[in-house]
Amino acid sequence: MFRFGVPRLLLITVLPLAAQMDLPLMPWPAKIVRGIGHFAVDTKLTVSATGAGADDPRVRSATIRFLARLAKQTKIEVPQQIAANPAIFSIVVDGATSGVQKYGDDESYRLIVTPQNVRLTAAEPLGALRGLETFLQLSVNSSVPAVDITDHPRFGWRGLSLDVSRHFLSVAAVKRAIDGLAAVKMNVFHWHLSDDQGFRIESKKFPLLHRRGSEGLYYTQAQVRDVIAYARDRGVRVVPEFDIPGHATSWFVGYPHLASGKGPYRVLKKTGVFAATMDPTRETTYTFLDGFIGEMAALFPDAYFHIGGDEVAPKGEWSRSLAIKAFMRKNKYTSLNTLQAYFNRRVMAIVTKHGKRMEGWDEILYPDLPKNIVIQSWQGQKSLADAAREGYSGILSAGYYLDLMEPAGKHYVVDPLKGETANLTPEQQKLVMGGEAAMWEELATEENIDAKLWPRTAAIAERLWSPAEVNEVAAMYRRLAPVSTWLETQGMQHRTQLAFMLKRLAGSHPVAPLADFASILEPVKGYVRHESQPYKSLGGTMLMNRLVDSIPPESDVARDFNAAVDRFLATHSTADDQLVRRQLTASRDNVPRLLPILTSEKLLLEHLKVAADVLDLCKAGLEALDAFRDGTKMSANRPVYLERIAELANGRADVLIQIAPGVLKLIEAAPH
Amino acid sequence: MFRFGVPRLLLITVLPLAAQMDLPLMPWPAKIVRGIGHFAVDTKLTVSATGAGADDPRVRSATIRFLARLAKQTKIEVPQQIAANPAIFSIVVDGATSGVQKYGDDESYRLIVTPQNVRLTAAEPLGALRGLETFLQLSVNSSVPAVDITDHPRFGWRGLSLDVSRHFLSVAAVKRAIDGLAAVKMNVFHWHLSDDQGFRIESKKFPLLHRRGSEGLYYTQAQVRDVIAYARDRGVRVVPEFDIPGHATSWFVGYPHLASGKGPYRVLKKTGVFAATMDPTRETTYTFLDGFIGEMAALFPDAYFHIGGDEVAPKGEWSRSLAIKAFMRKNKYTSLNTLQAYFNRRVMAIVTKHGKRMEGWDEILYPDLPKNIVIQSWQGQKSLADAAREGYSGILSAGYYLDLMEPAGKHYVVDPLKGETANLTPEQQKLVMGGEAAMWEELATEENIDAKLWPRTAAIAERLWSPAEVNEVAAMYRRLAPVSTWLETQGMQHRTQLAFMLKRLAGSHPVAPLADFASILEPVKGYVRHESQPYKSLGGTMLMNRLVDSIPPESDVARDFNAAVDRFLATHSTADDQLVRRQLTASRDNVPRLLPILTSEKLLLEHLKVAADVLDLCKAGLEALDAFRDGTKMSANRPVYLERIAELANGRADVLIQIAPGVLKLIEAAPH
C-alpha cells in the first residue's frame, strides 16, 4: 500500500498573495486558492458540457473554439469534439439565458483544477465563457497548476470604445479586437461609427451617408450583423455610437440640409473640433434622425444607443447662424448648452421610441433629461459623481484613453470608484457601471492598431474586473509580459505589426540596429503629437508610417532600465551596475550601425538627431556610472548634460528617449 | 535655350529582352517597351478616371484602394481622392460593362509611364484593374521607370482552387487570398466548400448540412455574399464546388439517407478516398440535390457550378450495395463509370435547370454528356486534349498542385498547351480555357496557408497570363523575390506566419539558430508525408505545428547554394568557392547553438537526427571543397558520405535537407 507514493489528493493550501500572483492571469480573479500539483493537458483530454445552459450556442461554440485554442497554444493534439459526460474537463452551466446579452448578466464562475480533472461551473452561459479564458491563460504550457478559483466581475460594463472614423478598420481588425476583449473578459465593444472624418456604416434609408461620407470605406449591414453575431458568440455586447450634433461633418457631405451652415461639406482629413454642426432648429433634422435611428436601432440589438454629444464647437455654426440665434431668442435659450439640451431631449425621444436607452458623453448631461440615460465620461470621476448624485448612471473613460500613448501602469491605477466617486453613497456608487478604454484613431491605422490596443487594454480590463485591492503596478507588469505573449498566440498582432513596419523602414538593411534603437523609444505623450510640425504638415491621407508609428506606446527595455537605475541608486549593487552599464553600452555602440539605415530612408532622417542624443546620453550615463564605481567626480560637462537631458523631455521626431529619466537620476546622484 | 539641359522627352528604346526583364513584374506583360527616365510618385499626384466605364464601382473602388496601397508601399502621402481631369495619372476606361463577371471579359490595358505623367487605358473595367496592379508592381519604390506596356492575358481562366473542408479558413484568410489573386491578375477563386472532412457553408434549406457536417466552422450565407462582392470588386469570379457523389461524407452526417450505405456517418478527421458515396439510384437524392443546388445557384452569381465528381472509391459503398447492384442490372450498367455517368446526367439536368454551366474533375467526362460542361483536369494535358477533341472545354490543374510542396520553377514550366494539347488544332486549343492552382488543405491550416500560396501562385499566374515564350525559370526566380516582398506589403502573410510559428517552437530560446537551420530545409514532396508515420499517427485535430509546417515549400538559401555549386564546378571560381564554403561553415557552426532548442521542445526532438545529418553533410562538403582547393584527394570516407547522402533523399521528420544535392555534386566531382 502506498508503495508507489502517497495517493494524489488535492491538498488545498493558502499561499501569501505575492506568491500566488505568479500565475499569468489577467484580470486577476476575485478569489484564488492554490492546490498542490498540476493537471496535464494531453491528447486524451475530454471536455463535456452539461446543465440547462449547456445547449446555449455560445457555450457550444466557445467550447469548440476553446479546444482549438488549447491545442494551438499547447501544441498538443487535444481532441476537437465535445465529449459525453463524465469527461475529464466538465463544464456545468446551471441556467439558460436567452435573448440579447444585457448589462448585469451573470458572469460568475468557479474553476477547480486538480491533478486529475477540471470542473468549471457557471450560473449562466457567460460565466462559462469567462472561465474558459481563465483556463486558457493558466495553460500556456500544458501543465496547469491546481487551483480553486471563484470569480466574478467588479463592474458589469467593461469595454473598449473604438473609433473607426478617423482611420477605417477592416472587419478582420474589428473581430480581432473582439477576440482580444473576450480573452481579457471585457464585455462591451463600443463602435464609434461616425465622425467628421468618415461615416462608416451602410444606411439603406439614407445611402448618401456612407456613399458620400466615406470614400468607400464603410461596413455593409451584412458585415455589421456578422460582427454583432461574432461578438455575441464571445460574450461581448456591441454598442453603436453616432456622434451628433457635433463631430458630424461626414453626414453633411451627402445631406447638407442637416447642417446649420450653408456648406458645401467635404469629409475632413484633418482632426480637431470643427464648426459644422447639425441644425437643431429644423423639424426635418428630427424626421431624418427618426428614420436613421430607427434603421440602426433595428440593426443593433443592444439595449443602449450612443449619440455622442461631445464637443460642439463653441464658435462653430451654431454661434454663426442667424436662424439659430432667432430660434434661441424665440425659445428663450440663453446659451448653446441650453440649445444642445433641447436637441438632446428631441433625440432622446426618438431613441426611446425605437426601444433603446440613450448613452452619451459628459456634455449630454443637463438637468431635465430622464434618469435612464447613461453618461460616458471623458472628463473624469467628478463628472461621474455629479451625475450619480443626480441619479444618472455612468461609465468612466477618462484615464483610459489609449491614444495618449501612456504606459499601462498609468491607466491601471485609474479606478472608477476612486477620486470624487469614492465619496458617493453605496447606493450612488451602484450607478457607476464600469468603464471603457477608448482608442481614437487620428494617429493609428489598420497597420498598427493592435499595438495601440494590446497589451495595455488587458491592464484596464483587470481594473474593471478584479477587486479594487488588486492594484500593485509592479505585480501587474510581471503578469502583463506573459499575458502579452499569450494574447499573441490568441491572434493579436501587436508585435508582428510593428516588426513588419520596422522592417519596411529598414528596407534592404538589416533591421536589428533599428529595432535596438527603437526599443528605448516611446511616442510623445498626450496631445503633443497633434500639435507637432510633422503632424500639422500632413497631407490628405494621414499615412502613419514613421518610426513613431512603428514602436509600442511603452518601452519594456526602458522600464527595466529605469528600474535597474532605481535599485542601483538604492543599493549600489554590482549586478545593477552591470545591467545599467550593459544597456548604455549597447545603445551607444548601436549608433554607428544605425546611421547607414537612418540616412537611407527619407522617413528616418528626422532620427539622426535622436541618434546623436542617444549617443551623448549613453556617454554621460556611463561617465556617471564610472564616477560611482571609481569614487571620482564627474567631468565639468555635468551641467551641460543636465541641461540637454532636460530638453529631451520635449521629444524630438515625436519620440521620447525613455532611458533618459534613469540617466538623469544617475547624473544627479553621481559624485560631482 | 536648353541651358538647363535637353528637354525631357520620352525617348522610346527597345532593349534586349534579358535587360528588360529586370523589372519586378509578375505576370510579365504581353509587350513592354522601355522609355528613358522615371516618373516620381509624390504628394502632388492626382489620379482621374474618365470614360464610359469609369463610373463602374469596380473602377472607383479599385482606384481608391490603389491610392491607399500606393501610399503604403511608397511611404509617401499620396492624396487619397479621385481627382478631376486632367490629372497627372489618368485612367481612361472606354466601355462600361454590367452584370456578373464572365469568362472572356476583356482584361486588356495599356499603361504608358513617362517622366511627366501616367496614362492607363482599358477597353473595359477589368483592364483598368489589371493595369493598376502593374503600376503598383512597378512602383515598389517611388520612382517608376518610363514604360509603354500593352498587355492582355493569354488565357481567360486563371484561378486558384482552395480547399476549406480539410482545414477551415476564416473569411479573413479567404479575402487575403483573393487580394493576392487580384495582385497577380488571376480572375477565378474556386471555393472547394465540401468534402469528407467538412461541409463549410450554411444551407437554409438543409441546415443539418452545415450544423452536423462542420462542427461550427462554416461560412454563413451573409459571409459568402460578402466574399463574392469582395472578389467582384477585385475582378475575381467565385466558382463554388460541392463535391459529389464521392468526397461527400460530411453531407451524410445530417442526411444519412443521401448515402448508399447504412451509416451512421461522422465527419472524417483522416484524409484519403473513402467508401461513403451518394446514392444515385433513389429519386429522393435528386429531389434533395435540386433543392440544394437551387439554393446555391441563387447564392453564387457565377455562370459555372462545380460538382466535383472525382475519386468515387472503387471498392466503396457502390460496389457493396445490393440495391445499387440491382439498379445497375436493371439499367444494364456494366461498370461503376456508367453508373456515375448516369448520376452526372441527372445532376447536369439540375444544374442546367438552375441556369448554370456544370464543371467537374476529369472523371465527369463521359461520352453522352452535353458539350457545354467544363473539365478541370487533375490528370494532365492528355485528359484535356482528349476532352477538346470531343468538343469539351477544360482547364488545367495537374502540375499546379500547391500542396505537393514543389518549387515554383516546377509549376512554372507546366503549360496548358504543352504536351498532348500542343497537338490540337488551333480551334480545339481554344477549348483550353486556362488553369487553376489547387491548394488542398490536408496539411495546411489558417496558420500557414499564406506560406503555401505565396509566392508560388505568382509563378503560376504568370504562366497563365504571359506569352508562352516568357518561360525562363532563372529569370522568373529573379523577379519572384521582389514580387514576394511586394506581396507582403500588399498584406500577404507568407513570411510573418512562419516567423511566428518558428518563434513559438523556439519558446524562450532565441529563434535565430532554429531559423538558420530551417532555412536549408524543405518539406518532403508529393504525397510522401501522407504516408509518413507522424502523419498517420495523427489524432483528431490534424494540428499542423511541427517544424515541417513552419518552413516554406521552397528554400531560397538552398536554391542559391546549389546554383553556386553548379557555377563552382563549371568555373572553379574563388567567389563561388567562398559562397559555398560560407554556407557550409555557417550551417555546421549553427548546430551546437541549435541543440539546446531542439531538446527543449517535444515537437523538435525529431530533428536531432536531422541536425546530425546537417553536421555530417557540411563536414563532408567542406572536405570536398578543400580537396578541390588543395588539389588533394578526399578521405577514405567518401563512399560512406555518398551512401548517407543518398539516404537523405528519403527525408526525415518529413523534411529534406535541400543543400544535400549540391553537396552530393561536390563530392562526386571532387578529386578522389
Interval B589-599: pLDDT, tens: 999 999 999 99
| Residue B109, beta-bridge partner list | B122, B151
Question: Which residues, including other chains, have CB under 8 Å from residue B103's CB and lie 6 or more apart?
Answer: B156, B157, B237, B303, B304, B433
Average pLDDT, stretch A147-171?
Answer: 97
List the single residue in A172, A217, A538 with the smallest CB-CB distance to B77: A538
Question: What's the confidence (pLDDT) of residue A80?
Answer: 87
Least confident of A251-255, B19-23, B216-220, B283-287: B19-23
pLDDT value of residue A16? 47
CB B305 within 8 A of CB B240: yes
Give the whole-angstrom CA distance, residue B108 versus residue B478.
Answer: 25
Q: Is B84 on the interface with A (CB under 8 A)?
A: no
* CA–CA distance, A28 with A185 (Å, rounded to integer): 11
φ and ψ at B414, to 5 degrees?
-80, 125
Q: How far apart are CA B405 and CA B396, in angstroms?
A: 18
User: pLDDT exceeding 90 applies to what percent of chain A?
Assistant: 87
Report chain B's terminal Cα–Cα distance, integer Å: 73
Q: How far is CA A249 from CA A268, A275, A281, B237, in A?
A: 7, 9, 17, 37
Of A64, A75, A496, the CB nearest to B545: A75
The contacts found for B334-337 with CB under 8 angstroms, 24 or more apart, are B336/B312, B337/B366
All residues at 6 or more sequence positions from A408 whose CB lies less than 8 Å from its CB, including other chains? A455, A456, A458, A459, A476, A477, A480, A554
Tell me the mean pLDDT in the region A176-197. 97
What is the model's pLDDT at position A530?
83
Which residue has cell 450634433? A245
Q: Predicted confidence band at B21 (pLDDT cuts at 50, 70, 90)?
A: confident
CA–CA distance, B28 with B152 (Å, rounded to integer): 10
Question: What pLDDT does B538 receive?
Answer: 53
Neighbours of B601 (CB within 10 A): 17
Query: Which of A589-617 are b and which e, b meaning 16 or more Cβ less than 10 Å from the residue's Cβ?
Result: ebbeebbebbeebebbebbeebbebbbbb
- The share of chain B scoring above pLDDT 70, in percent, equals 96
* pLDDT at residue B380 is higher than 70: yes
The arrangement of strands across the sheet holding A89-93 comes to: A31-40, A143-151, A109-113, A118-122, A89-93, A47-50
- What is the per-residue pLDDT across B524-534, written as a single tens digit (0 to 9) for each? 999 888 887 76
Q: What is the distance in angstroms between the Cα of A503 and the nearest Cα belonging to chain B? A: 11
**Whether residue B182 has pLDDT greater than 90:** yes
| DSSP character at residue B364 | G
Q: What is the pLDDT of residues A44-96, one digit of tens each?
A: 999 999 999 999 999 999 999 999 999 999 999 898 889 998 899 999 999 98
Res. B19 pLDDT band, cuts 50 70 90: low
Angle between helices A456-465 and A473-489 (to 10 degrees): 120
Contact A539 B77 (CB under 8 A): yes
Average pLDDT over residues A198-224: 95
Comparing A8-12, A552-556, B129-133, B504-508, the range with the smallest average pLDDT is A8-12
Sheet with B143-151, edge to edge strand ranges: B31-40, B143-151, B109-113, B118-122, B89-93, B47-50
Rounded distance between C-alpha atoms, residue A143 and residue B600, angstroms: 15
Q: Residue A543 pLDDT more than 90?
A: no
**C-alpha–C-alpha distance, residues B122 and B158, integer Å:** 19
> Is the separation of the CB atoms in A414 and A461 below 8 Å?
no
Amino acid occupying residue B380? G
> Does residue A3 surpass a pLDDT of 50?
no
Q: Is the pLDDT of residue B10 over 60?
A: no
Grid cell at residue B103: 469568362
What average pLDDT does the structure give for chain B? Answer: 93
pLDDT per residue as tens digits for the range A354-367:
999 999 999 898 87
Q: Using CA atoms, how far apart are residues A116 and A9, in angstroms rounded to an integer? A: 9
β B109-113/B118-122 pair status: antiparallel
Provide, as residue numbers in chain B, all residues whose Cβ is less than 8 Å from the Cβ of A539.
Answer: 43, 77, 79
Per DSSP, B391 falls in state: T
Q: β-pairing, B47-50 with B89-93?
A: parallel
Mapping DSSP to helix (H, G, I), strand (E, B) and coil, where does residue B330 land? helix
B314 at the A interface (CB within 8 A)?
Answer: no
CA distance A559 to A410: 13
Grid coordinates belonging to A552: 509600442
Of A71, A79, A504, the CB nearest to B489: A504
DSSP string, B590-623: HHHHHHHHHHH-GGGGGGHHHHHHHHHHHHHHHH
The catalytic residue among A107, A215, A241, A311 is A311
> Mean pLDDT across the stretch B646-653?
93
Cβ atoms of B43 and B79 closer than 8 Å: yes
Residues in chain A: 672
Least confident of A266-270, A307-311, B202-206, B389-393: A266-270
Identity (one letter) of the amino acid at A620? A
Residue A279 Cα, gap to closest chain B Cα (Å)? 28
Give A626→chain B minimum CA distance, Å. Answer: 32
User: Are A125 and A56 in contact, with CB atoms under 8 Å apart?
Assistant: yes
Q: What pLDDT is stored for residue B11 in this prediction?
A: 40
Report strand pairing: B31-40 vs B109-113: unpaired
C-alpha cell at A236: 461581448
Q: Is the pLDDT of residue B523 over 80?
A: yes
Express each pLDDT in B411-438 by its tens digit: 999 999 999 999 999 999 999 999 999 9
- What is the C-alpha to C-alpha distance for residues B329 and B343, in angstroms, rounded to an integer? 15
Q: Residue B554 is which amino acid? A: E
Tell me the average pLDDT across B487-510: 95
Number of DSSP helices (H) and strands (E) in chain A, helices first: 26, 17
Q: Which residue of B has its CA nearest to A61?
A: B216
CA–CA gap between residue A356 and residue A346 (Å, rounded): 14
Say if residue A331's pLDDT is above 80: yes
**Which pLDDT value is given to residue A535?**
66
- Over range A463-479, report the average pLDDT: 96
| B67 touches A at CB < 8 Å | yes
According to the model, what pLDDT value does residue A494 have? 97
Q: Cell numbers 458568440 correspond to what residue?
A: A233
Beta-carbon separation of A545 and B64 below 8 A = no
State chain A's mean pLDDT as an integer: 93
pLDDT for residue A194 is more than 60: yes
Q: What is the three-class DSSP state of B194?
A: strand
Q: Does B7 have pLDDT greater than 80?
A: no
Spatial separation of the C-alpha atoms in residues A486 and A482, rounded to whole Å: 6
Q: At A537, list the grid cell.
A: 504638415
pLDDT digits (tens, 9 = 90+) for A225-247: 999 999 999 999 999 999 999 99
CA atoms within 13 A on the CB side of B383: 20
Q: Closest approach of chain A CAs to the CA of B408, in angstroms? A: 24
Q: How many Å apart are CA B244 and CA B345, to the nearest integer? A: 13
Which residues make Cβ contacts (< 8 Å) with residue B166, sequence separation at least 6?
B195, B197, B198, B271, B440, B441, B442, B542
Among partner residues B43, B538, B602, which is closest to A539 by beta-carbon distance?
Answer: B43
Q: Averaged over A434-447, what is the pLDDT?
A: 95
Residue B515 is predicted with a pLDDT of 98
Instruction: Give the HSE-up count for residue A530: Cα atoms under 13 Å, Cβ half-sphere.
Output: 14
- Please check whether residue A43 touches B, CB under 8 A: yes
Neighbours of B180 (CB within 10 A): 23
Q: What is the mean pLDDT of residues B495-506?
A: 94
Instruction: Calculate helix-pair angle for A556-571, A574-600, nearest 10 degrees.
Output: 150
pLDDT of residue B2: 34
How confident is the model at residue A537, as a pLDDT? 61
B13 pLDDT higher than 70: no
Minimal CA–CA distance to B220: which of B239, B235, B234, B207?
B207
Residue B535 has a pLDDT of: 66
Q: What is the pLDDT of residue A395?
A: 98
Mean pLDDT computed over B493-506:
95
Determine the average pLDDT of the residues in A264-269: 90
Give the pLDDT confidence score for residue B268 in this predicted structure: 87
pLDDT of A256 above 50 = yes
Q: Which of B139, B150, B119, B158 is nearest to B29 (CA)?
A: B150
Residues of B recognised as catalytic = 311
Q: Which amino acid is at B305?
A: F
| A20 pLDDT above the threshold of 70 | no
Pull the grid cell for residue B154: 493569354
> Are A543 and B504 a contacting pair at CB < 8 A?
no
Mean pLDDT, residues B475-488 = 96
Helix (H) or strand (E) holding A92: strand A89-93
The pairing of beta strand B374-377 with beta strand B357-361 = parallel
- If you average pLDDT over residues A587-599, what whole number do you get? 97
Q: Please report the beta strands in B440-576, taking only residues with DSSP state E, as ranges in sequence order.
A: 521-523
Query: In the 3-class helix/strand/coil scheme, how is A15-61 assigned residue by residue?
Result: CCHHHHCCCCCCCCCCEEEEEEEEEECCCCCCEEEECCCCCCHHHHH
Residue A552 identity = P
Is A311 a known active-site residue?
yes
- Whether residue A200 contacts residue A64, with contact meaning beta carbons closer than 8 Å, is answered with no
Half-sphere exposure of A611 (CA within 13 A, CB side): 22
Res A536: pLDDT: 67
